[in-house]
Copies of this chain bind each other. A is one copy, B any other.
Amino acid sequence: MNDPLTAFPGYSLRRAAHASSSELANRLAAIGLRQSDASVLMLIGANPSATASALGRHLAIQRANMVPLLKRLEDAGLIERAPIDGKSQGLALTEAGQDRLAQARQTIESFEEELFLRIPAEHREHLLPALEAIWR
């Protein structure tokens, strides 16, 4: 079939992101996490007592959309909130959260490594800088 789309980097970008994203989502589902859950766990793990707003800003997740996400993690006993002042709350991992994060990290790291290795060697080192130029 004649295909005018695959020559476009933007189109290929979407297809590649979708493919890799759904693969990772599958693997994370095996430990009961979504990608956004895992991202938030990773970020809280690296930044204890960060606020929901700050995490959202950094992950490009709207404040409003953080609410059900954090509620899910809290209901699952993975995170807990501690008031910082009257309006902000610091987020931290519970012990269960740290365990789950370890699993998530393992899942993500091996996934990312496989992904990286699928790229022909001569292009590998160019991918990340090229992508960052697009969204940073």
Contact = CB atoms under 8 A, between A and B. Distances in A.
Interface of A: 1-21, 24, 35, 39, 42-43, 45-47, 50, 54, 58-60, 108, 111-112, 115-116, 118-120, 122-124, 126-135
A12 B132 contact: yes
Question: Taking chain A's interface residues, is the majority helix, strand, or loop, or is none over half, making it mixed?
Answer: helix
A50 B16 CA distance: 25
Contact of A133 (B6, B45, B50, B118): B118
A130 B135 contact: no
A17 to B, nearest CB: 3
Per CB-CB distance, the 3 closest pairs between chain A and chain B, nearest first, are A17-B17, A126-B126, A19-B135
